[in-house]
Structure 1
C-alpha cells in the first residue's frame, strides 16, 4: 500500500464519516455504536469497507422513508448488528484457529 492509497483511503473515510454526521441524532448514535462493536469484534468483511458503507446506505434509506432507527432495525441493536455479521469470520476466530494449530503442533 502506497502513500497515495493511504491518502485516498483517508479521504474516503472522512467522506463516509461526514455522511454519518449528516444522519439524524438517533441514527448517528446507533450507527456509531454498531461501528464501535464491529471494531472490537473484528469481522473480516470490515476490511473491504462494504459492511459499514452498506449499513450507512440502509440508514440513509430509512431516514428518507421517514422511519425511526429502532423502527428500521428493531429494538435489539446488538441482535441486529450480530445478524449482519453472522456468516462472517472474525479476526478473533482466525487468531483462535491459529493458536489451536500451534498448540496441536506443539503437542506432537
Structure 2
C-alpha cells in the first residue's frame, strides 16, 4: 500500500492479505470436523464481533493454533468449545475486541454448526435438547 492510501474494507476486517492467506492455508489442513467448527467460529466472529485489522489477524491465527493443537492432541471439538459455543466464541473474542452483539439467529447458527461438526467426530449427529 502506498503512502496515504487507505486500506480497503477487507483489509480492515482481516488484516494483511498475506497473513489471511496463511491462516486459510492452515485451516484447510485441519481434519474435516475441526475445519468445519473453526469455519463456523470464523463466520460468527466476522459477522458479529467488532474487530479491526490489528486485532483480527492475531485472533484468527490464535484460533487456528487452538484447533491445530486440539487436533494434534486428539481433543474433541466439545473439549475446545464446551457445551455452549456462543459463550466460548464470545469469551475468546473478548481477548481481542470490546463489545459485540450477536442476534439470536446467529447464535443458533453457530451452535448448530458446532453440533454438526462435533457429531462428525463420532460419525453421528448430535441433537440439541428442546429446552433452550
Q: What is the TM-score when the length of structure 2 is the normalising length? A: 0.57
In the alignment of these two chains, the number of paired residues is 89
CA RMSD of aligned residues (A): 2.6
Which consecutive residues of structure 2, in runs of 5 or more, have no partner in the other structure?
102-132
Q: Give distance in 2, aligned partners of 1:84 and 1:55.
A: 9
- What is the deviation of 1:15? 1.6
Which consecutive residues of structure 1, in runs of 5 or more, have no partner in the other structure?
93-108
1:89 aligns with 2:98: yes
Matching residue within 22, 37, 40 for 1:33:
40
| Runs of 4+, deviation exceeding 6 Å | none
Q: Give distance in 2, aligned partners of 1:43 and 1:66.
A: 32
- CA 1:42–1:74 in structure 2 vs 1: closer, same or farther (change >3 Å)? closer
Structure whose residues are more often helix by fraction: 1
- What is the deviation of 1:51? 0.8
